[in-house]
Structure 1
């Protein structure tokens, strides 16, 4: 399931070209009936991003703005290219990812607030006319999950404690084997020489843990599967995964064109997104099988935004 390095690079390049080509002509669409340009919102390729993108779209439309949503764009690098080239106008991004992936910083700030400040400063100094709006209360961090029985057997409390296990098969999603917050760097940081990576798409790692196909897995802290207590999260005591609140990255000229009410709508939506709320929203899509649009609409109506 894991291609050779050259194949991965070629595949990633082709995917990036395909995704960006699909967006051509979508950014900065013509003026809406009200006279303001249509705003194009982007979202990455997983449940949480689809839901947030739908919330932005529905909330802004209710407030009278003309918007278009382009979901499932791809990885951080791909969606950032779409943003900086003007093919989309804004998208929700994780503050730590901005510093770790885009800014390639090795030093991780020691608080969520400091992470947001540095991420916003980075975006504003890039030369693309970008800024960031307010961050969410919740953060969605990568974490290492194991089954409680394994944690009890070997006394696992931190990621580094995995060294106590004779052999660890580690489930990682394909896009995150390498990279700033990927498996390879995590194993180096924690000195894990007894682990072997197993490439699995997002969501399949829980089934692999349940069936004993892997001993540990990269998970997200807002995954609905974590709500029942069937998995133990190991403490990231070295702070490898950083802080990951969500905030819209947006072109400054879009904010000026649309007026102050535009940012107020997005800030109000993001202010409602606690960790418990996002876990429930993700569960409604991944387990109950509602569409991201249905989930977003119900949430906004319940909170008086629709």
Structure 2
């Protein structure tokens, strides 16, 4: 009896002192929704969770997980190009969903980080322009945009510092399609989300007539913007996946099947709808995530 009581007391003490799992996320609506899905799923499973979603951009979340300041956050497979420059991941590899995921998973394993299976979504970087400009100048692709720029067409694009400065974002478009934007053609908005950049383009703020956007943005159609296609495949495939510190996963192995079940229910159409509920309807990411997870029977 004494042994049973001792073990029970130890179990209770261990439960009470268990370190919370810290969940981060990036700033855009999709990242926040996915982050809240992680938070709510883990809480529903009875795990102690600290919510640090909306932590910052890719670099901020990356530094935090490597430093052990967060345990888990939603990342995109295409960011392997940016996160592992020494690997020199080529366009063909980055454009293959399975290849880029396997590269990200393998390269990060040595950093003590595990990539779980991604959702069947490609939220890649895109350039968006107003429909009026697209129609008048016959712009449907980045190749068309390059032609327009070389002919002296008026152009100014709104984006975040990350979009302009990372070597695998706007610089890749420039290199692949043979154009180079001047500083006067860029409106750099610190901490900007795609919703903000698209609003600037739709409203013509400070002469802006183009915007940084993501492939699953629900605001594009609502703001009468056109996402230009990328026929040369300059941008990588960006599938969202939960990434977690391997030590945290080993201590809580039930996390993997729980989160992979959640991400397995997502597709592009579903994500666009969920993004729209935040960006267009004004709902909170937590509210949208909770309603969705409940509708799928994934949480109580």
- TM-based fold match above 0.5: yes
Instruction: Identify the residue that residue 9 of structure 1 maps to in structure 2.
Output: none
Which runs of structure 2 are paired with 1:248-263 in the superposition (5 Å)? Answer: 248-259=242-253, 261-263=254-256
The gaps in structure 1 that reach 5 residues or longer are 1-30
Instruction: Identify the residue that residue 225 of structure 2 maps to in structure 1.
Output: 231
Q: Give 4+ residue runs of structure 1 displaced > 4 Å after superposition.
A: none
* 1:144 is aligned to 2:127: yes
Instruction: Identify the residue that residue 167 of structure 1 maps to in structure 2.
Output: 154
Which runs of structure 2 are paired with 1:173-184 in the superposition (5 Å)? Answer: 173-184=160-171
3-state SS in 1 of match to 2:233: coil
Cα 1:32–1:173 shift into 2, 3 Å: farther
The correspondence for 1:285, drawn from 275, 278, 292, is 278
Output one character per residue of 1:141-161: Cα deviation in whole Å (capped at 9) or x when no partner: 111112223222222232021
The correspondence for 1:214, drawn from 208, 211, 216, is 208
Cα 1:252–1:284 shift into 2, 3 Å: same
CA distance in 1, matches of 2:245, 2:180: 44
The correspondence for 1:244, drawn from 238, 244, 254, is 238
Output one character per residue of 1:216-257: Cα deviation in whole Å (capped at 9) or x when no partner: 222111111124582222111222221000111112221221
Kept after mapping to 2: 8 A contact 1:100/1:180: no
CA distance in 2, matches of 1:185, 1:251: 30
Relative to structure 2, which stretch is displaced further, 85-94 or 105-114?
105-114
Higher helix share: 2
CA distance in 2, matches of 1:147, 1:55: 32
CA distance in 2, matches of 1:175, 1:206: 16
Instruction: Identify the residue that residue 116 of structure 2 maps to in structure 1.
Output: 133
Kept after mapping to 1: 8 A contact 2:198/2:220: no
Kept after mapping to 1: 8 A contact 2:219/2:279: no
* 1:302 is aligned to 2:284: no
Output one character per residue of 1:172-191: Cα deviation in whole Å (capped at 9) or x when no partner: 22332111233344223321
TM-score (norm 1): 0.82
3-state SS in 2 of match to 1:96: helix
CA distance in 2, matches of 1:185, 1:96: 13
Output one character per residue of 1:83-112: Cα deviation in whole Å (capped at 9) or x when no partner: 111111111100001x22111235131311
In the comparison of the two structures, how many residue pairs are matched?
272
Once the two structures are TM-superposed, the CA of residue 193 in structure 1 deviates from its matched residue by 4.1
Once the two structures are TM-superposed, the CA of residue 43 in structure 1 deviates from its matched residue by 0.9
Kept after mapping to 1: 8 A contact 2:198/2:223: no
Q: Which one has the largest radius of gyration? A: 2
Kept after mapping to 2: 8 A contact 1:91/1:248: yes
CA distance in 1, matches of 2:250, 2:146: 53
3-state SS in 1 of match to 2:211: strand
CA distance in 2, matches of 1:290, 1:32: 37
Cα 1:194–1:87 shift into 2, 3 Å: closer
